[in-house]
Amino acid sequence: MANHISSKKRIRRNERRAVINKNRLSRVRTFVKKVEAAIEAGNKDEAQAAFLAAMPELHRGASRGVMHRNTVSRKTSRLAAKIKAM
């Protein structure tokens, strides 16, 4: 257990941020799953619409520090390639 007041405050802050970051990451994953589900169903129009909705969420995750920007770029590229291949 932390002994300094600043360390205790830092622990409290980290716990709050962890909850926020977990929610953000969950939201991003949900949007990606919607795209993948549309691809699996073979519905190109729905997949494209879901992809356009997922793009800002992915980039928001990168800008907020929840995901690395290269991870977002890789996921975006792979999803776009899957949709294009349909």
Q: How many domains does the chain have?
A: 1
CATH number of the domain that residue 75 is part of: 1.20.58.110
Q: Estimate to the nearest angstrom the gap between the alpha carbon of 5 and the chain centroid.
A: 34
User: What's the average model confidence in pLDDT over 7-18?
Assistant: 95
Give pLDDT, residue 18: 97
Q: Which domain holds residue 31?
A: 5-84
Model confidence at 3, pLDDT cuts 50, 70, 90, reads confident
Specify the pLDDT at position 2: 82
Nearest Cα residue to 31 out of 51, 59, 60 = 51
Side-chain-side CA neighbours of 67 within 13 Å: the count stands at 22
CB-neighbour burial class of residue 34 (10 A; exposed 0-12, middle 13-18, buried 19+): middle
Global confidence as pTM:
0.85
pLDDT score at 56: 96
Per-residue pLDDT of 18-55, as tens digits, reads: 999 999 999 999 999 999 999 999 999 999 999 999 99
Mean pLDDT score across all residues of the chain: 95
**What is the C-alpha separation between 3 and 29, in angstroms, rounded?**
37
Residue 58 near residue 32, CB atoms below 8 Å:
yes
